[in-house]
Amino acid sequence: MTEFNVDDFISLSSEVDSMARTPIPGKGPNEQFLRGPIPLHWLTVACSLPGKSLQVSLAIWFKASLTKNGTVLLGNSLLAKFGVQPDAKRRALKALEKAGLIKVVRRDNKNPQVTLLPCVITPLEGEGDQR
């Protein structure tokens, strides 16, 4: 585990303070948006996966926020908006499932049912329990 270095924090803090504050762009009228919070560890694991895994995971979170449900049907038309073709969708779902981020129920000739799972953070080997 990396040790916390106060000097790094102080230099980062002064760097942020010296920057001009600018507003974060908001959504326009009738524009859709991605709602959070999305757990950062979940997202970083998705980022480390191959292919279109990140795009598929963002589409899943988008659909889940729209429906207010952690289980969604994931169609090709939504994924097309994220630049994902059906064959890439299949590979990405397998990668996300193997990483333990989602559970997929595949249905014959129907959209897969995808359930978001909590991302389990496991301590690195040899670190032990550091409280």
Q: Average pLDDT, whole number, for the chain? A: 85
Domain with 58 in it: 40-116
> Is 89 part of any domain?
yes
In a domain, 71, yes or no: yes
Query: For residue 127, is pLDDT > 80?
Result: no
pLDDT tens digits along 32-80? 878 888 999 999 999 999 999 999 999 999 999 999 999 999 999 999 9
When pLDDT is cut at 50, 70 and 90, the band that residue 26 belongs to is confident
Q: pTM of the entire structure? A: 0.75
What's the confidence (pLDDT) of residue 131? 47
pLDDT computed for residue 33 by the predictor: 79
CATH number at residue 110: 1.10.10
Q: How many domains does the chain contain in total? A: 1
Residue 107 domain flag: yes
CA dihedral 105, 107, 70, 61 (to 10 degrees): 100
Mean pLDDT of 92-108: 96
pLDDT score at 24: 72
Please state the φ and ψ torsions of residue 73, each to the nearest 5 degrees. Answer: -95, 125
Q: What pLDDT score does 6 carry? A: 63
Q: Look at residue 48 and tell me if it is in a domain.
A: yes
